[in-house]
Amino acid sequence: MKSVFFAIITLVYAMLSSVYAEELVMDFQGLDLLGNLEVSQVGLKDKDIVLIVHDTLSSKQENLISGIQSGLKGQGVNSLAINLSLGLDMRKGRYDCKIEHNHRHKDALGEMAKWIKWLLKQKVRHIHLLGQGRGANQVALYARNAKKSKLGKLVLVSPMSWSFEKAEVEYRSLYRKSLSDILNKAKGMIADGEGDTLMEVDFLGCKGARVTASSFENYYSPNAEYHTPSLLDSLQSRDVLVLTGEYDNGSREIVSMLQSRTGSGRQTVKVIAGANKGFGGIYRDHLVTEVIGFLK
């Protein structure tokens, strides 16, 4: 009887210890990257996992990201939410606008590749990608050129749509300044070999930020790849779910595009009634429900 009791206790302990959260540290090009691993099944081997990438200057600690991880864990799905370094060592929390900016949009792809390489070493079954906002664009860019064998499905939450014309209007509305003038100045500095020189400009929501000319040019120069709808044709061989809120005005274009398109039928869009871009409260639960249903 004693041995049976001990066996039961051991089994309960093993079951409890199989559900855990862990902050991981990954070395990448001299920087330590941080990721939050949420495991709800017995280990990672032969199990699916969702790699989650946050929005512009955000982090894995953001309410929406942590809420998605919690919801996935509750439904038995493993996940890894990463913090993009944005050029900083051990970056935690939202990017502090007082810190100098020296990073690029596509820096995310190399960092994602590093995390995916680690996950493959853990012998996971499939790696699904979920990105929010700019992060949705970045996971789509990554998936476009990735090998298909281990990479699973894509979930794009409020994906970024972008055009220089729209960015110019928004920049003037926010900052009362001409984006074209500042961009031309940055390009001139780069041409003069001063791409690493700091400018004091309004940048990605940070007023009066100190930004290298190269960084400013990278984020604001016309680039069709930043417009997530333009990437969807190259992803027709993959299962893609686009999730937006009813009151997320920024995603209306991509919703309209997907609802009207024909093709492989592997790309679908779901609009969550009543939700805005933040998916607060019950709408976060609705979002997680859609993700779970799509991944099954």
Which CATH architecture best describes the domain 18-162+224-295?
3-Layer(aba) Sandwich (3.40)
Give pLDDT tens digits along the chain (296 positions).
Answer: 333 323 233 233 333 445 778 999 999 999 999 999 999 867 899 999 999 999 999 999 999 999 999 999 999 999 999 999 999 999 999 999 999 999 999 999 999 999 999 999 999 999 999 999 999 999 999 999 887 678 999 999 999 999 999 999 999 999 999 999 999 999 999 999 999 999 999 999 999 999 999 999 999 999 999 999 889 888 988 999 999 999 998 777 777 777 765 445 788 899 999 999 999 999 999 999 999 999 98
Instruction: Express each pLDDT in 64-97 by its tens digit.
Output: 999 999 999 999 999 999 999 999 999 999 999 9
This prediction has a pTM of: 0.91
Please tell me the distance from the alpha carbon of residue 144 to that of residue 162, in angstroms, as a whole number.
Answer: 18
Domain boundaries, the chain: 18-162+224-295, 165-219
Please tell me the distance from the alpha carbon of residue 86 to that of residue 109, in angstroms, as a whole number.
Answer: 12
Tokens of 237: 């061989």
**Cα 19 to the center of its chain, rounded Å:** 24
Q: What DSSP element (H or E) covers 210?
A: strand 206-212
